[in-house]
């Protein structure tokens, strides 16, 4: 039998590795693009702004209430992985880099908050403890690209970012296969 909490927190770990993947390549980006350390902060801020706008969009449109959380998570993890990979493969400077990092943040708004929604739907009786695991995985996930970079030794900066994209694709597959809690969707939870 599958363990939904384990699957969701593992997917969260992998999906949120996109968040600071460019930061793991900071030294190389500074050299390759002839940018300052402050501009690495600008790339980070682009992700944060994308996340804020994405989260606000989900809140104002009610998309997260109208569509299955697992489908939104899957689509957003896929699109985030693609934008992250595009950053590694095609970005040639701050202009294209900021746009792609903004898009990564935008799609992360469908990963982290929807992961929370999935956890609560699968284990409402253990939501507090399960959410603690999820937040822990967010923290580890955002640090994961640095570990990938360290483990990769002499690999190019693009490689570590592409590994993060691959992990986000794996997160999308995990959540797609898990789906949503059908008991909740059919009204089984909370019925008198």
Structure tokens at 153: 């030794």
Residue span of the structural domain in which 162 resides = 10-178
Q: What is the CATH number of the domain that holds 146?
A: 1.20.1250.20
CA angle 77, 47, 136 (to 5 degrees): 65
Structure tokens at 133: 């695991």
Domain annotation covers residue 4: no
Domain annotation covers residue 2: no
- What are the residue ranges of helices labelled H in 24-123? 26-33, 37-61, 63-66, 69-90, 94-108, 112-122
Domain annotation covers residue 51: yes
As a whole number of angstroms, the distance between CA 72 and CA 77 comes to 8
Q: What is the dihedral of CA 179, 144, 81, 56, to 10 degrees?
A: 70
Domain count within the chain: 1
Q: How many CA atoms lie within 13 A of 188 on its CB side?
A: 10
Domain annotation covers residue 5: no
Domain annotation covers residue 190: no
Tens of pLDDT along the chain (192 residues) come to 479 999 999 999 999 999 999 999 999 999 999 999 999 999 999 999 999 999 999 999 999 999 999 999 999 999 999 999 999 999 999 999 999 999 999 999 999 999 999 999 999 999 999 999 989 888 898 889 989 888 877 789 999 999 999 999 999 999 999 999 876 544 444 332
Domain annotation covers residue 114: yes
As a whole number of angstroms, the distance between CA 33 and CA 31 comes to 6
Q: What does pTM read for this prediction?
A: 0.90
């Amino acid at each position: 039998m599958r363990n939904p909490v384990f699957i969701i927190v593992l997917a969260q770990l992998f999906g949120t590795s996109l968040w600071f993947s460019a930061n793991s390549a900071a030294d190389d980006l500074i050299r390759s693009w002839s940018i300052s350390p402050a501009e690495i902060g600008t790339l980070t801020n682009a992700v944060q702004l994308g996340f804020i706008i994405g989260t606000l969009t989900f809140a104002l449109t009610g998309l997260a209430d109208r569509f299955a959380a697992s489908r939104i998570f899957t689509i957003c993890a896929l699109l985030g992985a693609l934008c992250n990979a595009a950053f590694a493969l095609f970005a040639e400077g701050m202009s294209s880099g900021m746009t792609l990092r903004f898009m990564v943040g935008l799609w992360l708004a469908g990963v982290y908050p929807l992961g929370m929604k999935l956890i609560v739907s699968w284990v409402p009786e253990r939501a507090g403890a399960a959410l603690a695991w999820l937040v822990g995985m967010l923290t580890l996930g955002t640090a994961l690209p640095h570990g990938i970079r360290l483990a990769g030794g002499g690999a190019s900066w693009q490689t570590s970012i592409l590994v993060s994209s691959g992990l986000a694709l794996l997160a999308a597959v995990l959540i797609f296969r898990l789906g949503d809690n059908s008991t909740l969707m059919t009204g089984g939870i909370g019925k008198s």
